[in-house]
Structure formats: structure tokens, C-alpha cells
Amino acid sequence: MRLIIQKDYQTLSQWAAQYVAARIKEAKPSARKPFVLGLPTGSSPLGMYDALVELYNKKEVSFKHVVTFNMDEYVGLAENHPESYHTFMWDNFFSHINIDKKNVNILNGNAKNLDAECANYEKKIEKAGGIDLFLGGVGPDGHIAFNEPGSSLVSKTRVKTLTKDTIIANSRFFGGNIKKVPKTALTVGVQTIMNAREVLILVNGHNKARALAHGVEGGISQMWTISALQMHPKGIIVADESACGELKLQTYRYYKDIEKKNLDPKSIETAKSIETTKSVEVTPKK
Ligand code: GLP
């Protein structure tokens, strides 16, 4: 697993956006062979989405032949509810780029048969040729997508009950009222994410420090589903300094040293093909 430690949220977001754009460009996607991206919601990826929109506006990346699969969606929230993940994705990303609506896949949390919806989602991913790059955030308790502590590390897309911790954490999007937060969600499984050819997890802020330490230094455990990344042949975490507070000094220095060439978001090896861009001002929005 690679751990790229960035100075702050802005450079972390820049780095991730440059990485994603580079991957898309390298793949030279076409209608016949699109690039397949797995996407998260939450506050962590907002800066990356802004930076990707900026790269798109500068014509440095195109999403014409990109197919997307979102990680999760709440159950029972109307698609046009301001806090649905459908709304989040269109407001923060899809409406600002040249993605074809038919290439966007988001789980339907209002499907009559939720189990069938989940099984069908897995089939759709398979039909699309699998996911090339799965992007994600992490919850303070180490969960990826909605794979809460105790989720099977070989889980696939399914209905999950949210833990009290997640409901409290996400209540900030529902006016601080935990009663308004849906209690269940549809989510891709840990295995669904691990089946991607590459996985990139964004970790920022002090409240993610324990999750990062467990993910990088802890054993592989269903109690910290981010730790499954240790089993992935191409797993990357990009973290900011604040999220590193619980890492051992040795671990921190080790990764700083082996990734020193890759710390400048403008000079990441994989983004060589992209012209150096001016920094985009990005700050956490929520
Ligand atoms: C939710 C989402 C996760 C996300 C996590 C952290 O539980 N289902 O995909 O990673 O929150 O969110 P944030 O980035 O807002 O901290």
C-alpha cells in the first residue's frame, strides 16, 4: 500500500485530482472501452471534485468516455432530496463536466426490491468490465462506503444498517437532527471496492487519525474496513498532515521518505502527461 502524505486538504485534493485525470488520460478511453471510475460522496472528496472540474475547464481531462459507479445511497430518501447522494453528485461534480447521463450509475435507495437492486448493481459493474479506479473517503470509525465496523471483508453490494456513530457524524448534513438521518443505506461491499484494479482513499483531518493509523499500521480487521486495503495490490491512501496524528513517528517518516518524489501534486509521476496547473483554491465545505 502507498501512503502519500500531503501538507493540507488543498494539496491532498490537488494530488488526487491530478492522479485521477492522469489515469483517465493514460487509459485513452473510447466509447468501446470507457474508463470506469468508482466514486464517493462526503466532505472528503469535495476539494478533489472542484479540482477535477478545474482540470476539465482547462481541457486537460475529458469525461466523455468515463463510466461512473457511486459507492452508496441512503434508503428511502427521495432522489431529489438535498442530502441524497444523487443530488450531491450532480451538484458537486456531474453537472460541471461533460459526463453522459447514461454513464452515471448510482444505487436506487427507493427501489421496490432493494436486494435485487444491489445484485443488479454488481452485474452492471461486471458488464462495464469492472472498475478501473475506485475512489473513497473513510469514516472516523474506519468504514469505507457504508461498510460499518463488523462488515464482512468479502461483502458485495447490499443493504446496511448505519451505526449510531455514522448517523451522528452524518447528522451535520441534516441540520444536526439525527432523527432525519436515514437509518439504512445501500452500499457496495468491501470486496466490490477491492475488486477494482486500483483503489485511492482520501483521508483528511484530525478526526480521521485513528482510522488512518488502523488502516496503515493495524492488522486487517472487519472492525476497521479501511484495513482491507492492505490486501489490495494497488492501494493508495492520500492523507493530510492532520490525519497523521496517530501514526507512529517511524511510519510517518518512512512514508514521507519513500514518497518524497510524489509529494508535490504538480509533479506526481503518473501525472507527467498533464501540464502543470496553477493551484485551485479548495477548502473543506462542510
Ligand atoms: C459516509 C459515506 C462514506 C464517507 C464517510 C466519511 O459514511 N458513506 O463514503 O467516506 O461518510 O465522510 P466525510 O468525507 O464527510 O468525512
One digit per residue, the tens of pLDDT, for the chain of length 286 reads 999 999 999 999 999 999 999 999 999 999 999 999 999 999 999 999 999 999 999 999 999 999 999 999 999 999 999 999 999 999 999 999 999 999 999 999 999 999 999 999 999 999 999 999 999 999 999 999 999 999 999 999 999 999 998 899 889 999 999 999 999 999 999 999 999 999 999 999 999 999 999 999 999 999 999 999 999 999 999 999 999 999 999 999 999 999 887 766 555 554 443 333 344 455 555 5
Our answer to whether residue 148 is catalytic in this structure is yes
Closest CA to 228 of 220, 216, 239, 237: 220
Closest CA to 130 of 197, 71, 186, 187: 197
Our answer to whether residue 141 is catalytic in this structure is yes
Please work out whether the CB of residue 137 comes within 6 Å of at least one atom of ligand 1: yes
User: Would you put residue 129 in left (φ > 0), alpha (ψ -120 to 50) or beta?
Assistant: left
Our answer to whether residue 275 is catalytic in this structure is no
How many angstroms separate the CA atoms of 102 and 122, rounded? 17
40 C-alpha to ligand 1 centroid (Å): 8
Cα–Cα–Cα angle for 41, 221, 235, nearest 5°? 55
Quick one: pLDDT at residue 260? Answer: 83
* Burial (CB count within 10 angstroms: exposed 0-12, middle 13-18, buried 19+), residue 121: buried
Spatial contact of 242 and 210, defined as CB atoms under 8 Å apart: no
106 C-alpha to ligand 1 centroid (Å): 16
Tell me the residue type at 8.
Answer: D
Please work out whether the CB of residue 235 comes within 6 Å of at least one atom of ligand 1: no
140 C-alpha to ligand 1 centroid (Å): 9
How many angstroms separate the CA atoms of 100 and 90, rounded? 12
